[in-house]
């Protein structure tokens, strides 16, 4: 009931539109990745994506009282995205067949552009073989739930668009006629793969 009410409210005040729902696979065990524009992002994804998922949240955002209230609506996993051990918890959830939502940047954008993409989420995708479902969040950064600097104009209720892109994957193969890749090398390559996924997502969403 509360979820339906919040969905209706967000649809009205933020004029939320969702594109690309046809790209959402029927199967589960998805790693859903999105750019991080505001404290609203997790709530919006939970309300408007047709998949039940566990949300990976930075331990730091739990200090926000309003955000903690939103988390009561969905399963979540609080982790430090910079910690390799934290990603083991995410791998475990995917191995159990769950869908997992993660923000590879690990923090809300301060500029409106993509922030540093951590290697952990890419490593998770490569390690588990889970399909990656990219979702572009656009508009939420302009709200007062974002963290843009004063140089960027804010709006009380900006229009928000969610764009779902076709699913993809990160596959790492050991090079032929060379020694096998080390764990550190695989993690770095997977991180580069996830950065590519995020950059492609932003580019393709702008064209659609």
According to DSSP, residue 132 is labeled E
Cβ atoms within 10 A of the Cβ of 12, count?
Answer: 10
What span, in angstroms and rounded, lies between the C-alpha atoms of 11 and 5? Answer: 10
Partners of 57 in beta bridges = 78
Residue 19: active-site member: no
Residues in the chain: 208
What span, in angstroms and rounded, lies between the C-alpha atoms of 164 and 134? Answer: 6
* 100-102/54-58 β-pairing: parallel
Half-sphere exposure of 182 (CA within 13 A, CB side): 3
CB 165 within 8 A of CB 187: no
Q: Name the strand (E) or helix (H) holding 79.
A: strand 76-79
Q: Which of 104, 133, 161, 130 is nearest to 24 (CA)?
A: 133
CB 160 within 8 A of CB 14: yes
Catalytic choice (36, 58, 152, 178):
36
Q: Among all residues, which ones are annotated catalytic?
A: 36
């Amino acid at each position: 009931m509360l979820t339906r009410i919040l969905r209706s409210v967000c649809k009205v005040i933020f004029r939320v539109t969702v594109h690309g729902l046809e790209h959402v696979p029927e199967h589960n065990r998805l790693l859903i990745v999105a750019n991080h524009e505001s404290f609203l992002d997790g709530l919006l994804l939970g309300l408007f994506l047709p998949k039940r998922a566990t949300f990976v949240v930075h331990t730091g955002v739990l200090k926000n009282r309003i955000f903690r209230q939103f988390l009561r609506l969905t399963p979540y996993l609080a982790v430090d995205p910079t910690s390799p051990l934290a990603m083991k918890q995410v791998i475990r959830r995917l191995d159990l067949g769950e869908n997992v939502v993660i923000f590879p940047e690990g923090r809300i954008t301060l500029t409106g552009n993509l922030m540093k993409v951590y290697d952990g989420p890419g490593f998770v995708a490569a390690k588990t073989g889970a399909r990656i479902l990219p979702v572009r969040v656009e508009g939420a950064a302009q709200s007062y739930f974002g963290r843009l600097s004063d140089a960027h104009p804010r709006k009380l209720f900006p229009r928000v668009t969610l764009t779902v892109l076709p699913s993809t994957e990160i596959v790492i193969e050991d090079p032929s006629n060379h020694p096998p890749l080390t764990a550190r090398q695989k993690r770095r390559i997977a991180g580069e793969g996830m950065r590519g996924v995020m950059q492609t997502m932003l580019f393709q969403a702008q064209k659609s």
